[in-house]
Amino acid sequence: MIRALSELVVGQDPRMRARLGLCLLSMVIYVCWIFVLLGYALPRHLITESTAHFFMGYISVALCVFYPLVRSGITRSWPDPGLVAPQILWASGAMIISYAVAPVVRSVAFQTLCLIQVFGFLSLRPKVAAWTGGLTTAMLIAAWVAMTVLGLSDADPRAEALKIAGSCFVLVLMTIQSRSFGLMRERAFHAKQSLAAAAEELRRITVRDGLTGLYNRGHMQERLQAEVQRAQLNGHHFSVALIDLDHFKAINDHHGHAVGDEVLVNFALQGGAVLRETDVIGRWGGEEFLVLMPETEEANQAQIAMTRLREQLRSTQVSRSLPDLRVNFSCGVATWSARDSIEQVIERADQALYRAKSGGRDRTELQPPLTRGITSAGQPVASA
């Protein structure tokens, strides 16, 4: 019950909770001021009835605007989603007006005004902190001018000028400090972003091949291990395809390594475009690639995927400098079963690849599943 009520009042988003917490705190303070006005100041005739009505209306605006707007989520995309700056200016305006028209408040007005500025220390951006503090200072000076010119108070203007000058000095210092906190938060935020970007780049370097952008051999071995564990849990099989680009050495020798790099990069692009989203392709080494195809119960399912890739390559330009150049590949496919280790399924795919290259290249060979026989000594023996 309490948790449901809490989620209703401040929501579930941690950032939303922080913003609404500030709004609720300001609402509590406003409500306290209402009790002070109605229960203490008005009955003792410390303020006039019209002044009390004005402040009741002023406070009601704050109660009906700030919290509902933030809680509705409308302000989520605004530069100041918690409406911190408007709340500071509104509360500061209340204290400055009170200082001008209600002598009973003057003894605590300046201290309260400075306390209000503290709410911006942990959330306002540097520029917002600067103009918020500047506007508050300007309103305070305007209040003194109004008191002096319009005769809103019988207080000595010179004495009040000294008090306001001191308060303005403190406000300026607090504004500078608030702006400094904002700059520190921005620097910390940018440093955090840079660190996250560096960590992502490091992760990319450690798992990706620098040329093709595909996963490297080390990461593919990790993916294979994870797929074995998943297959053991759900009972599905997966297939592994080892691909070797045909006559790649001749491409390097005749056309140069730049063209060879183009071929590798474009093969990687075509592989990513043709294969399923669940399939994982990585560079196994040199011109060799390994494709992990989850949930392929039969090797011929993987063979169909390799046929699509081969047809795509035949119709695709793999080098800008040599638009007529086409690339073929030889492929060996093996399907994992519960009797296989990772090394065994890769070895069987490699054996199938060897047969494909020996049989004339530009073809896919399937390696039969691992079987177990019995030796003459009665011991089980694995064979392909």
Asked whether residue 35 carries a pLDDT value surpassing 70, the answer given is: yes
> CATH second-level architecture of 217-383?
2-Layer Sandwich (3.30)
State residue 355's pLDDT score. Answer: 94
Rounded to a whole number, what is the distance in angstroms from the first to the last CA of the chain?
64
State residue 378's pLDDT score. Answer: 39
State residue 370's pLDDT score. Answer: 61
> Model's pTM, two decimal places?
0.60
The domain limits of the chain are: 2-201, 217-383
Single-letter code of the amino acid located at 376:
S
Q: Confidence class of residue 199 from pLDDT cuts 50, 70 and 90?
A: confident
Tens-place pLDDT, residues 143-153: 888 888 877 66
CA-to-CA distance for 60 and 62, rounded, in angstroms? 5
CA-to-CA distance for 224 and 226, rounded, in angstroms? 5
Per DSSP, helices labelled H in the chain are 2-10, 14-36, 49-72, 84-101, 106-118, 126-150, 157-207, 217-234, 248-255, 257-274, 299-314, 342-358
**What is the rounded average pLDDT of the residues 283-304?**
88
State residue 157's pLDDT score. Answer: 81
3-state secondary structure of 139: helix
Single-letter code of the amino acid located at 191:
A
CA-to-CA distance for 140 and 333, rounded, in angstroms? 81
Asked whether residue 380 carries a pLDDT value surpassing 80, the answer given is: no
Asked whether residue 330 carries a pLDDT value surpassing 90, the answer given is: yes
Long-range contacts of 13-18 (CB under 8 A, 24+ apart): 15/81, 16/70, 16/73, 16/76, 18/82
232: left (phi over 0), alpha (psi -120 to 50) or beta: alpha
Please choose, from the candidates 145, 55, 39, the residue with its C-alpha nearest in 3D space to the C-alpha of residue 95.
55
